Chains A and B, each alone.
Chain A
Amino acid sequence: MQTIISIKPLLAVLASLLAVPLILKTGENRPNLRETWSILAGVIKFSIIISMVPTILSGNTIEYTLVSFYQGIDIKFRVDAFGLLFATVSSFLWIVTTFYSIGYMRSGNEHAQTRFFACFAISLSSTVAVAFSANLITLFLFYEVLSLATVPLVGHKETPESYEGARKYLLYLLSLSKTLLLSGIIIVYMVAGTTDFQSHGLLRNQPASMLLFGAFFLFLYGFAKGGVMPVHNWLPSAMVAPTPVSALLHAVAVVKVGVFSILRVVFFIYGVDLMGLMDIGVVASYVVTFTIVMGSVIALSKDNLKARLAYSTVSQLSYIILGAVLLTSSSMLGGIMHIANHAFSKITLFFCAGSLYCSAHKTEVSQLSGIGKKMPWTMAAFFIGSLSMIGVPPAAGFNSKWLLAIGSIEANQIPILMALLFSTILNAAYFLPITYKAFFEKEVVSNHSSHGHDDHHDDIRENPMIVVPLVLTAIISLLIGIYPDYFLALAKEVIK
């Protein structure tokens, strides 16, 4: 195993950042050129990231130090299998989402599209930077940039409701990261003299102490983007954002930055041994299991499709964390794999929700009766996404949930296994009726609908700019279920 010094991680981060001035300069008058910059940056970024795969799979790491900040604190990038897995997923989905956004934003005639695409590019830069951060300080830096860059996206509509969403977003993410997270980071720095991520854990040789025990929970809740209850409330409120934002940021980039960071702390700061020694794993696994079950229960009660998806996300994110804190090799594999699996499936579901909104102006589950005939591609993709979320083979979600179930048995945590099964039933209960409604129920001609948009049901047509991306992600959800090799190889590299 070698450490290679290369500027590639920095370039991967900069690729999308450099697009920002170009996007801003091109502006509203030439939208096609403006979106070209996003797509171009996305492709370059993805290619740079992919080009690092062979190096990493052969057991090496890539490092690049930007500046030395203070004793033991550098602003530094380090690419390992774990970061690369997350970076591949998010940078690939950015390209897909950009196409989708073009369809979505133009069909809805949204305002301030320049700001939208510019903030999107900054968000992706910081997401990949988080993935490649070599220590907690660097990670914190980009974590905060990500929070700030996404606020204009959440408040995009500039309505009182979206301001409220943006306020809540800032309040949760900023205040928890400044209090809990920063405290946690400083405690680690104080104990170890550095915050660098090391395989098997930076703190692995430290004695167990109450301070470190407490610090773990500072991380668990401080990384509020991970949405562990009760710090999940910002996520449903953030759903006021345009759907591409909910899809890429609040199903993939932002929320996964949260769980990714928590997993970083588990694997690379505490290390599996210390986690086990201090019983942090057990306590944390029950905390997140509660979130898994409660997220599903609340999702069941939501009629608004995006709200239902949001609570499903809250629940699914905790699956990932659960995998890590159960501390068995199968569960860890499952958790890491679920980052990718959930990303592709949940983005499909959000894309579908956006497609329904754009073509048919439907936002509630109860309005979807009979929509399947009008929008077959969308609803078929939705079905695949649902299967993956429930964990039905051959969709991707099955692999990770299977590994998680095995992991909970290996860890001798039968109550957690029961909770997982219970949550799976709940997943089915809130996802399958949607597909059922869409394909098998007759369209209800509502007589109390003041909009009367049901009269226009015949006009409903799927927008190809929107449908192609969502079909693509649905197919990938199946493919990585059948051929999980790429992500499995990276995940195995992580827990080696």
Chain B
Amino acid sequence: MISLNFPILSVITYLPLLGILVICMINSKHHDLIRWVAFLTAVAGFFVSLPLYFMFDSNTWHMQFVENVPWIPQFGINYHLGIDGISLLLILLTTFLSALAILSTWSAVTEGVKGYMISLLLLETGMIGVFCSLDFILFYVFWEVMLIPMYLIIGIWGGPRRIYAAVKFFIYTMSGSVLMLVAILFLYYLNYKSTGVYTFDILSYHNLGLPSNIQFWLFLAFFLAFAIKVPMFPFHTWLPDAHVEAPTAGSVILAGVLLKMGTYGFLRFSLPIFPQATVDFVPMIMCLSLIGIIYGALVSIAQDDIKKLVAYSSVSHLGYCMLGMFALNIDGVKGSIIQMINHGLSTGALFMIVGMLYERRHTRLISEYGGIMKVMPVFASLFLLVAFSSMGVPGTNGFVGELLILIGAFKASVGYGLLATVGLVLGAVYLLWMYKRVMYGNITKDANKQLKDMNGREYAYLIPIIIFIIWIGVYPKPFLDKMDASVQHLLQMVNQQ
């Protein structure tokens, strides 16, 4: 186990707050300065988080870089941070995407830049905090911290229906988290009854051995909170609204990281704390995931708005994450985690691409485009590559995730596996069809004839993602190895029951 004398996790978590502090001192008229400060803070955050990857010991499932100090001792609340192989990659994804997301709305947001950048940075703190909290109360605090800036980003800097979308997002997520809070408190009480110790320490709940009927209800409460966040069918209806109205950076973060909170929650809480209930819930969750996969893809096919199409594709992709996770075998869970990363990269990139088109033409309707390949050839080839990644063409990251999830699903049951492959085809259909309508053919709209190809800033935020798309696609081993021990341990806890 590695424990540095240096509180690296705290530094990564609170670095964005430092940026916020600096931004607060800048006059809100200096837009560019504010943008630069925010961007550089996020970049610094990414570089500070890199050592985590290199110093992480992948041979152990124990929490690493642990910081544990009493916070409110009389209630057993600790300031407890630490990461394992499951959260490591998600933290890196967060710091990586945050920097790129700020870059992606450099010129799109022109009003209230100060507030916007503050929200984005606060959001980053919340997200990283969620991934490294090992104390329930701390976790819940970060979970809620995350909610407010996202609400503001959608509600203030969003599209025409932003208020509706923001409120819907808030109500859905909030109702889920309230249920979770009740469940946490109930767990806290149960734990006290059986051990006589007041503690919110997540790890100490892992081997609690709760009776199965209690597990059932508590699992259900957590399930609702996380399933809304994922979102699983039928709790997904807030997602398309939120995505479509959010500005590009909001969509990137929402798709890239926020949706992973749900799947991460299942891995960190539901599976190890309620192993019995997990196994009992498998058929239901598998069914909902499969419905989500196929339903999400079918609805995507029917969209005439590019951003909505990408938003619905998330429902399908996250369905795969859930499918792999609840296959409850090593291939499936690893595939699920790598698919979380993949989805963050490829869907994040797709939203950026939609953003590029929107900035040029101020419309997202597919019918307004056509023949764009002729005026934006470089954009066309990068767009195609990202689409390939999203549909899981071999050689891109998407394939790795899909393959592992399918192996997991087939091992769980051949039927699940066969059904899941149908979703893969539909995924190819909606993306390629959209691509064809937007990029191929003749230019029918005059406004499209003058479009400029990508500029330097756009390269700067798309190319890094593409590097990872190919890297993970060709050589996923370094990423998969990091999570090996943690996933093994997790499955051991589930299978002991």
Check if B425 sits within 8 Å of A179, measured CB to CB. yes
How many residues from B make CB contacts under 8 Å with A?
29
Q: How far is A68 from B475 in the complex, measured between Cα atoms in Å?
A: 7
Q: How far is A75 from B400 in the complex, measured between Cα atoms in Å?
A: 12
A189 at the interface (CB under 8 A from B): yes
Q: How far is A75 from B475 in the complex, measured between Cα atoms in Å?
A: 9
B395 at the interface (CB under 8 A from A): yes
Check if A182 sits within 8 Å of B393, measured CB to CB. no
Contact pick for B393, options A68, A148, A175, A187, CB 8 Å: A148
Contact pick for A144, options B394, B410, B477, B480, CB 8 Å: B394
Measured CB to CB, the nearest residue on chain B to A68 is: B477
Q: How far is A67 from B418 in the complex, measured between Cα atoms in Å?
A: 28
Tell me what chain B mostly uses at the interface: helix, strand, loop, or mixed: helix
B37 at the interface (CB under 8 A from A): no
Check if A182 sits within 8 Å of B475, measured CB to CB. no
Q: How far is A140 from B421 in the complex, measured between Cα atoms in Å?
A: 15
Contact pick for A178, options B395, B417, B421, CB 8 Å: B421
| Cβ distance A166 to chain B, nearest Cβ, rounded Å | 9
A141 at the interface (CB under 8 A from B): yes
Check if A145 sits within 8 Å of B425, measured CB to CB. no
| Cβ distance B391 to chain A, nearest Cβ, rounded Å | 9
| Cβ distance B4 to chain A, nearest Cβ, rounded Å | 31
A183 at the interface (CB under 8 A from B): yes
- A179-B422 contact, Cβ under 8 Å, with A67-B475, A69-B477, A70-B480: yes
Q: How far is A67 from B479 in the complex, measured between Cα atoms in Å?
A: 14
Most B CB contacts (10 A, CB to CB) among A140, A148, A186 go to: A186
Tell me what chain A mostly uses at the interface: helix, strand, loop, or mixed: helix
Check if A182 sits within 8 Å of B421, measured CB to CB. yes
**Residues 420-447 of chain B, each 1 if its beta carbon lies under 8 Å from chain A, else 0:** 0110110011001000000010000000
Q: Please name all residues of chain B whose beta carbon is closer than 8 Å to the beta carbon of A297 when the two chains form the complex.
A: none
Most A CB contacts (10 A, CB to CB) among B388, B411, B421 go to: B421
A1 at the interface (CB under 8 A from B): no
A170 at the interface (CB under 8 A from B): yes
Check if A67 sits within 8 Å of B424, measured CB to CB. no
Contact pick for B425, options A67, A70, A148, A174, CB 8 Å: A174
A277 at the interface (CB under 8 A from B): no
A211 at the interface (CB under 8 A from B): yes
Q: How far is A186 from B400 in the complex, measured between Cα atoms in Å?
A: 13
Q: Please name all residues of chain B whose beta carbon is closer than 8 Å to the beta carbon of A75 when the two chains form the complex.
A: 474
Check if B394 sits within 8 Å of A183, measured CB to CB. no
Check if A178 sits within 8 Å of B476, measured CB to CB. no
Measured CB to CB, the nearest residue on chain B to A178 is: B424
Within 8 A of B (CB), among A62-82: 67-70, 75
Contact pick for A174, options B400, B406, B410, B428, CB 8 Å: B428
B103 at the interface (CB under 8 A from A): no
- A183-B417 contact, Cβ under 8 Å, with A178-B425, A178-B428: yes
- A175-B425 contact, Cβ under 8 Å, with A190-B410, A190-B411: yes
Q: How far is A190 from B388 in the complex, measured between Cα atoms in Å?
A: 26
Check if B476 sits within 8 Å of A141, measured CB to CB. no
- A182-B424 contact, Cβ under 8 Å, with A67-B475, A70-B404, A70-B476: yes
Check if B474 sits within 8 Å of A182, measured CB to CB. no
Q: Which 7 A-B pairs have the closest CB atoms?
A: A141-B394, A175-B425, A179-B421, A178-B424, A186-B410, A67-B475, A144-B394
Q: In the complex, given contacts A178-B428, A183-B410, A183-B421, what are 13 additional A-B residue pairs having Cβ atoms less than 8 angstroms apart?
A: A67-B474, A68-B477, A69-B475, A69-B477, A70-B403, A145-B394, A163-B440, A170-B428, A175-B428, A178-B424, A178-B425, A182-B421, A186-B410
Q: What are 12 residue pairs bridging A and B, where the CB atoms are less than 8 Å apart in the complex?
A: A67-B475, A68-B477, A69-B400, A70-B403, A75-B474, A148-B388, A163-B440, A175-B429, A179-B424, A179-B425, A183-B406, A183-B418
